[in-house]
């Protein structure tokens, strides 16, 4: 019978003092991998080690077991390449138990339901180092992406009609890993331009390429380019002509003191002057600072006569923590902005 290490105690794993063969150690480590979590509201988080590691005590034992492998010379395994494989696998399993900030590269598969058919987007997140926060998929991106289908018959019904979709221009600001913008192209059956800083574009373009076939099968299209908020230099030619986008999306773009003004300036330069145009923004309410940034942004939007047509608070989850415990709860504010005299 095939042995399943998820179902047994860590004490029964192949122990280094037993000098287990390479094949046994590798099989055990492969089963100890943790798949990256996703956060569907109202659904429990599902991970491959859910039953095995359901207590802090059990998790500590697994971590101790992995540490015993990483710290062992594995001298009974004579092949140098095989030893390296075991150390790499054990180290990867350890990093997966150190929270998202401690992980290396991961790939998540995000499920969606829309009016056409269910589909899945595959999104790569490189290791998060320094200030590369755009390499993580944040809760607000997924939460907003799940709202998109409802907007077709709701707040954006005047724009997302069969006759207007072909000419509609949609822009996502600060796309990061691209989940929101790619989902918008798929669900709305329109072309969406994704944008971010130069250092984020390589991974963003990779994710666009990975999901392009899915988006095109559903009737959408994707383009991308560098767009630096508040700067006239270094931007893609896509943005040479301003004020041409009918819908602008932005998720989690308000977390630094200068972000309200920068985001506002990008919207001012790129949003169409049509009374039908709309801006949809979502931001986690992490603390009092975030509340202040949201208020500052709303005030700036009023300067270009963009009123808050509707706003809501949504509950979500995120995995920006120091360990592999359940994702942290987070509340997200989102709003739709439009011209005061639009009548919408």
Q: Which tens digit of pLDDT belongs to each residue from 211-255?
A: 999 999 999 999 999 999 988 888 999 998 899 999 999 999 888
Residue with tokens 């995120």: 318
In 3-state terms the chain splits into helix, strand, coil percentages (rounded to 5) of: 40, 20, 40
Q: Which CATH architecture has domain 106-339?
A: 3-Layer(aba) Sandwich (3.40)
Angstrom distance (rounded) from CA 151 to CA 165: 14
**175 and 167 in contact (C-beta within 8 Å)?**
no
Instruction: Indicate the helix (H) or strand (E) that contains 334.
Output: strand 328-339
Residue ranges, comma separated, of all CATH 3.40.50.150 domains in the chain are 106-339
**275 and 342 in contact (C-beta within 8 Å)?**
yes
pLDDT at residue number 91: 81
Q: Tell me if residue 252 falls in helix, strand or coil.
A: coil
Strand duo 328-339 + 278-284: pairing: antiparallel
**193 and 205 in contact (C-beta within 8 Å)?**
no
**181 and 249 in contact (C-beta within 8 Å)?**
yes
Question: What is the largest distance, in Å, between two alpha-carbon atoms of the chain?
Answer: 77
Confidence of residue 51 (pLDDT cuts 50, 70, 90): very low
**Mean pLDDT for the stretch of residues 270-284:** 95
Strand duo 221-226 + 191-196: pairing: parallel
pLDDT at residue number 266: 95
pLDDT at residue number 165: 87
Give the range among 4-8, 78-82, 142-146 with minimum mean pLDDT: 4-8
Strand duo 328-339 + 119-125: pairing: unpaired
């Amino acid at each position: 019978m095939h042995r399943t290490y998820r179902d047994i105690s860590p004490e029964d794993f192949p122990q280094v003092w037993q000098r287990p063969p390479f094949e046994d150690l590798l099989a055990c480590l492969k089963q100890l991998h943790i798949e990256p979590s996703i956060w569907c509201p109202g659904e429990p988080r599902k991970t491959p080690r859910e039953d095995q590691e359901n207590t802090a005590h059990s998790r500590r034992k697994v971590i101790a077991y992995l540490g015993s492998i990483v710290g062992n010379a594995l001298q009974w395994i004579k092949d140098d390449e095989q030893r390296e494989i075991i150390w790499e696998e054990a180290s990867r399993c350890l990093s997966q138990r150190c929270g998202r900030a401690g992980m290396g590269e991961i790939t998540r598969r995000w499920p969606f339901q829309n009016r056409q058919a269910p589909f899945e987007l595959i999104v790569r997140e490189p290791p998060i180092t320094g200030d590369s926060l755009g390499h993580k998929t944040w809760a607000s991106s997924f939460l907003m992406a799940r709202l998109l289908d409802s907007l077709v018959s709701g707040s954006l019904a005047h724009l997302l009609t069969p006759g207007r979709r072909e000419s509609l221009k949609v822009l996502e600001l600060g796309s990061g890993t691209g989940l929101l913008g790619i989902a918008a192209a798929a669900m709305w059956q329109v072309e969406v331009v994704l944008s971010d800083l130069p250092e984020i574009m390589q991974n963003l373009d990779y994710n666009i390429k990975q999901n392009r076939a899915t988006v095109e099968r559903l009737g959408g299209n994707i383009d991308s380019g560098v767009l630096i908020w508040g700067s006239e230099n270094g931007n893609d030619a896509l943005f040479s002509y301003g004020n041409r986008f009918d819908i602008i999306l932005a998720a989690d773009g308000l977390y630094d003191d200068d972000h309200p003004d920068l985001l506002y300036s990008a919207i001012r330069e790129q949003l169409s002057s049509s009374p039908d145009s709309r801006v949809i923004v979502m931001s986690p309410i992490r603390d009092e600072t975030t509340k202040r940034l949201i208020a500052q942004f709303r005030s700036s939007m009023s300067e270009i006569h963009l009123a808050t047509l509707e706003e809501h608070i949504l509950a979500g989850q995120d995995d920006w923590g120091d360990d592999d415990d359940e994702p942290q709860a987070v509340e997200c504010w989102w709003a739709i902005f439009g011209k005061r005299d639009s009548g919408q």
